[in-house]
Structure 1
Amino acid sequence: MAKISGNEIRPGTIIEHDGGLWASVKVSHVKPGKGGAFAQVELKNLRDGRKLNERFRSEDKVEEVRLENKDQQFLYETDGRLVFMDAETFEQAEVDAELLGDRRPFLQDGMTATVQYYGDEALSVQIPQKVRCRVVEAEPVMNGQTATKSYKPAVLENGVRVMVPPFIGVDEVIIINTDLMEYSERA
């Protein structure tokens, strides 16, 4: 770990602070009329999601943490734990399913995900931004509905409800943007 000064903190910087790992979400540099300049930093705890606002002066030193990104293949889920396999060493690692949050239904068997590690501890899992899903329920197309830009509800094979254009029907494969949790395009 490297020590950096308080004014070197940028959005996305991960630091060790108050005995925890924190990611900087927002940073604003303030130069008051009286007194020294400082960085007002909004931090998010990587382990429990708490948020914190801190001021760091340029004289303050903080520990910058580098996380290791590993591309791993998803194998299966057991008791709320996701099992991933390292493609190079074939070692298996268990990760808490809560790390994926709302994107959990889009994790598919055999999918390659990027797992961020701090030592041996997995802190986050990132799945591909675009995922192919099959529509299992959708309302039929009504005449004249395609004249304006409208959307209708649909249910995907993983049980997630999304809004899709009227021309999408049952058994069609579509691409979902997992960052926005919405329809992107036809597959």
Structure 2
Amino acid sequence: MTAYSGNSLKSGLKILIKNNPYEVQYSEFIKPGKGQAFVRIKLKELLTNKILNKTFKATDTFYSTDVIEIESLYLYNTRYIWVFMNKKNFEHIHVLKKFLFGCEKWLTNLSICKITLWNNSPISVYTDNFINLKVKNTDVAIQGDTVNLSTKLVKLETGITVRVPLFIKKGDLIRIDTRIGKYVSRIIR
């Protein structure tokens, strides 16, 4: 394990704090006029996906953790266990639903995901920020009714319902921002 002092922490670094893995989101070194230097750190707890703000002494020591990310394909689920395949060695990875953190609503067969492993156990799954999904069903929009509504609801191939502009039809391919769950654009083929 590599050791880091508090003032050498950078964004993206994965460290251990009280035997739990964290990812440094942001760090700021502060040297006040009087007193000891300290570091303000914004951390993401990798086991729960919570964001924490902490303050440490600049001389505190942190150790790196053996967290790795692998690219994988979603295969199927059994309601409690979600099965992915490692793209490099074709091994199957079984992930409990609690480690999906809401990304399961965007998964279709063979969706590409990133799985975070800690001590060779999956602790989180992430999809891309923007994905393309097909419109399965759509509400009927009344022509010229743009005063009341300029959007309508559509059901996507994953079963999720989102608001889209009136010109979107059944069978269209649309881009979705998975971080906020909103329509971005129509994909023209």
**TM value normalised by structure 1:** 0.85
Q: Secondary structure at the match of 1:123?
A: strand
Bigger shift: 13-22 or 131-140?
131-140
Structure 2 CA distance, aligned partners of 1:112 and 1:50? 24
Runs of 5+ consecutive residues of structure 2 not aligned to the other structure: none
Structure 2 CA distance, aligned partners of 1:19 and 1:66? 12
Post-superposition offset of 1:177: 2.2
Q: After superposition, where does 1:48-87 map in structure 2 within 5 Å? A: 48-87=48-87
2:36 match: 36
Cα 1:53/1:106, change in 2 over 3 Å: closer
- Percent identity, aligned pairs only, is 27
1:15 match: 15
Deviations 1:39-81 (A, max 9, x none): 0223332113455443222221111235222112221112411
Structure 2 CA distance, aligned partners of 1:123 and 1:106? 18
Moved over 6 A (4+): none
Runs of 5+ consecutive residues of structure 1 not aligned to the other structure: none
Post-superposition offset of 1:127: 1.8
1:130 match: 130
**Cα RMSD for the two superposed structures:** 2.5
Q: Secondary structure at the match of 1:59?
A: coil
Aligned residues: 187
1:171 match: 171
Post-superposition offset of 1:165: 0.7
Cα 1:33/1:149, change in 2 over 3 Å: farther
Cα 1:184/1:50, change in 2 over 3 Å: closer
